[in-house]
Amino acid sequence: MAGHGSKLLRMRDVCARTGLARSTIHHYIREGVLPKPPKTGRNTAWYDEDFVRRAQLVKTLQEKTHMPLASIRDTLNGMPNAAVDTIDPERFTGVTRAIADGLRLASERELSRAELIERSGLKPAMLDGLAAGGLIEPIERAGRVVYSPLDARIVLAFVRILEAGATPERGFVGSPDIVEAYRTHLTELARVEAREMVRMMRPLTEIDLDEFLAKVADPLGEMIAAMHRKALVQAVGDVTANGDGHD
């Protein structure tokens, strides 16, 4: 871990330099966020300047981004010390905030219940049915019910499906099974995507993030939609070939 001729430090020195407690540093090492130091005796370990810089960075990232240690570990693992030294925690924090704001459509405002009913044309009972089915999540705020920009988009997309003719009167009623399947698999997909985002955080800090997100959002959505359609074509073929598709 230490370079030739570099000054080695004891644990008390690392604690003084980083402001971290001994127990916290040991916890970071157990979690794989910091490397295990070489030992010269049963209870004696030595730490170098690279270790101190990583410990300071981990502390700063936790304080500023509230990232869990596992995410920080995934970001830093395999990254050479020279690259770790280039990470700007302020820029890192700004990137995570910008991505989160972009995903949640922070530039769009929430809609009240009355506004969403007026804009969508849905009856209140049907809007409540979407909430009961878990497709949207109304928010209680200051004594009124509001809907996030993402939930508003879900509702408006649902209305377009109805307008295409997929109405309950014609028997088009989503079963709880398909709603749960969407929720389960999309949640898992989102977790994988979030882990990938964290893994690629360093290159994301080096580009114009607003321009990148604007350019990648539509093609990424189209790619995912096409992959879903491809999988659906295969699944429909399997069902028709095997009867009802059940084993």
Residue 63 sits in a domain whose CATH number is 1.10.1660.10
Kindly state whether residues 189 and 121 are assigned to the same domain. yes
The owner of tokens 């109805």 is 162
Query: Which range among 8-17, 117-126, 174-183, 238-247 shows the weakest confidence by mean pLDDT?
Result: 238-247
> Does one domain contain both 174 and 138?
yes
- Percentage above 70 pLDDT, the chain: 89
152: its two tokens = 């508003």
Q: Helix, strand or coil for residue 12?
A: helix
CB atoms near residue 101 (< 10 Å): 12
Is 100 inside any structural domain? no
Residues 198 and 220 occupy one common structural domain: no
CA distance 60 to 56: 6
Residue 2 covered by a domain: no
Q: What is the pLDDT of residues 33-86, one digit of tens each?
A: 998 988 877 778 899 988 998 899 899 888 887 778 887 887 777 666 666 777
| Percentage above 90 pLDDT, the chain | 35
User: Domain range holding 240?
Assistant: 210-247
The answer to whether residue 133 sits within a structural domain is yes
Same domain (yes/no): 123, 187: yes
Is 183 contained in some domain?
yes
Q: How far apart are CA 129 and CA 133, in angstroms?
A: 6
Find the distance separating the first CA and the last CA of the chain, reported in whole Å: 55
Element (H, E) at 231: helix 209-241
So what's the pLDDT on residue 133?
Answer: 85
Same domain, 119 and 197: yes
Tokens, residue 33: 């966020």
- Are residues 191 and 134 both part of a single domain? yes
Structural domain includes residue 37: yes
Same domain, 217 and 179: no
Which of 3-12, 16-25, 212-221, 235-244 has the weakest average pLDDT? 3-12
**pLDDT above 90 for 175:** no
CA distance linking residue 54 with residue 49, whole number of Å = 9
Report d(CA 241, CA 233) in Å as an integer: 12
Q: Is the same domain home to 215 and 188? A: no
User: Both 116 and 199 in a single domain?
Assistant: yes
Q: Identify whether 128 is part of a domain.
A: yes
Instruction: Identify the domain boundary among 52, 87, 122.
Output: 87
The domain total for the chain is 3
Q: Are residues 201 and 218 in the same domain?
A: no
Please count the other Cβ atoms lying within 10 Å of the Cβ belonging to residue 118. Answer: 11
Name the residue with higher pLDDT: 24 or 221.
Answer: 24
pLDDT at 191 over 50: yes
Beta bridge partners of 144: 141
Determine the pLDDT at residue 77. Answer: 73
Strand order in the sheet with 111-112: 111-112, 144-147, 139-141
Say whether pLDDT at 118 is over 90. Answer: yes
Instruction: Determine the pLDDT at residue 102.
Output: 75
On the question of pLDDT at 245 being above 60, the answer is no
Backbone phi, psi, residue 165, to 5°? 115, 0
User: CA-to-CA distance for 216 and 178, rounded, in angstroms?
Assistant: 29
Q: Do 66 and 139 fall into the same domain?
A: no
Does any domain span residue 101? no
Bridge partners, residue 41, by sequence: 44
**48 Ramachandran zone, left/alpha/beta (phi>0; psi -120 to 50):** beta
- What local confidence, expressed as pLDDT, does residue 78 receive? 61
Let me know whether 74 and 158 are in one domain. Answer: no
pLDDT band of residue 154 (cuts 50, 70, 90) is very high
Would 221 be classed as within a structural domain?
yes
